[in-house]
Amino acid sequence: MKVNFFATCLCDTVKAEVAKKSVELLEQLGCEIIFPEKQGCCGQPSLNSGYIEGSKPAMKNLIVAFEENDHLIVTPAGSCAASIKRYPEYLADEPEWAARAQKVADRLLELTQFIVNKLGVENVGARLKGRAVYHPSCSLIRKLGVREEPLRLLANVEGLEMLPIKNQETCCGFGGTFSVKMSEISGEMVKEKVHHICEVEPEYLIGADISCLMNIGGRMTREGRPVKVMHIVDVLMSR
Tell me, what amino acid is at 37? E
Cα three-residue angle 4-8-11, rounded to 5 degrees: 110
pLDDT in tens, 91-149: 999 999 999 999 999 999 999 999 999 999 999 999 999 999 999 999 999 999 999 99
User: Are residues 9 and 41 in contact, defined by beta-carbon separation less than 8 angstroms?
Assistant: yes
Taking alpha carbons only, the member of 201, 179, 181, 203 closest to residue 189 is 179
CA 74 vs CA 98, 162, 238: distances in Å: 21, 26, 21
pLDDT in tens, 37-68: 999 999 998 998 899 999 999 999 999 999 99
| Residue 34 banded pLDDT, cuts 50, 70, 90 | very high
Residue 200 has what DSSP assignment? T
Mean pLDDT of the chain: 95
Residue 190: in which H helix or E strand, if any? helix 183-199
